[in-house]
Amino acid sequence: MKNMLRTFTLAAGLLVTSQAIAETAKIAVAANFTKTIEAVGKAFEKESGHTVKFSFGPTGKLYAQIKNGAPFDAFFGADERRPKKTIEDGIGLADSYFVYAQGQIVLYSATLPVKEEPLAVLKAGDFNHLAMANPRTAPYGERAVAYLKDKGLYDSLQSKMVNGESIAHAFQYVVTQNAEIGFVAMSQVVDPQSPVYQKGQYWVVPQADYKPINQGAVITKRGENNAAVQAFMKFIKTPKAIEIIKKFGYNVS
C-alpha cells in the first residue's frame, strides 16, 4: 500500500512539474505562411508539450500591431525589413533573428492558360481584374508590382488591379473568380487541400525576375523568457520542420 501511495505521489508530482514547465507562445505570422506554420505547430506541440497560438495577417499590419504593444512573443514576417525593424525599434531581440524560408510568386487563374502562356495572357489583358496583395503592406504584392514594371506591363494593367489586404485575400479573389487572374504565393497552390487541385492552373514566376522574398523571424522582448517560443524557434530549424516547409513550396537555405 505504501509503495502504491509512493508511486501515485511521484506520478502526480511529475504531472504537476510537466504542467508547470509547459508554456504557451503567441506568434504573429505573415498570411502567406498560414498553412505551413500550422502544420509545423502541430508537429511541435506533439513533440514538446508546449502550445503555440498563431495570429495571421499582412506583414506591415502585424509589424504595426507589435510596435503598438500587441502581446506577441515572436514575429514571422513575409520579408526581412519588418522583422529587422522591430530590432531597430528595440522590441525585437537581435540575436534571435534568422531567415526561416524563401517565398515564391506564382501567377494563378481558374480559367486562363497561364501555365503555358503567362506573358501572352498578361499582355492581352483579356480579363477584368488582376489580384495581388497590397504592395504597400505585403512583400508578395510589392514583388508582383516590381515584376510587372520590369516587363513593361504595369501601366496597361494598373486599372485592372485589385489589392487584397494580404496574400490570403488575393488568393480568395482568384479562387472565387471575383478576379480572373492573380499573383499569389507558391504555398497556396501546392497545398493538397487548395482549390487549385480541382480547377485552374499556375505558372511559377522565375526567381531571377524579382528580388528574393527572404522571410525573417524574430523573438520579441516579450518572448525573451518564454520557454515555448524559445523551443519553437529551435524546432523550426530542425530537419523535421524544414521538410514540412519545403513541402509547402518554400525554399530553405
Centre a 10 Å sphere on the Cβ of residue 182 and count the other Cβ atoms it contains: 30
Q: Where are the beta strands (DSSP E) in 17-119?
A: 24-30, 51-57, 74-76, 98-103, 105-109
Q: How do residues 148-166 score in pLDDT, each as one tens digit?
A: 999 999 999 999 999 999 8
pLDDT value of position 74:
98
Look up residue 22 and give its amino acid: A
pLDDT value of position 224:
96
End-to-end CA distance of the chain: 58
pLDDT value of position 2:
46
Residues of the chain with pLDDT under 70: 1-20, 192, 194-198
Centre a 10 Å sphere on the Cβ of residue 132 and count the other Cβ atoms it contains: 29
> In the chain, which residues fall in CATH 3.40.190.10?
2-102+212-247, 105-204
pLDDT value of position 200:
85
H or E element, residue 124: helix 118-124
Contact 182, 195 (CB under 8 A): no
The residues, any chain, with a CB within 8 Å of residue 147's CB and separated by 6 or more, are 105, 183, 205, 209, 210
C-alpha atoms less than 13 angstroms from C-alpha of 212 in its C-beta half-sphere: 11
Q: How do residues 68-117 score in pLDDT, each as one tens digit?
A: 999 999 999 999 999 999 999 999 999 999 999 999 999 999 999 999 99
| The CATH number of domain 105-204 is 3.40.190.10 | yes
Question: pTM higher than 0.75, yes or no?
Answer: yes
pLDDT value of position 164:
94
How is domain 2-102+212-247 classified at the architecture level of CATH?
Answer: 3-Layer(aba) Sandwich (3.40)
Give just the sign of the alpha carbon dihedral 117, 122, 128, 129: positive
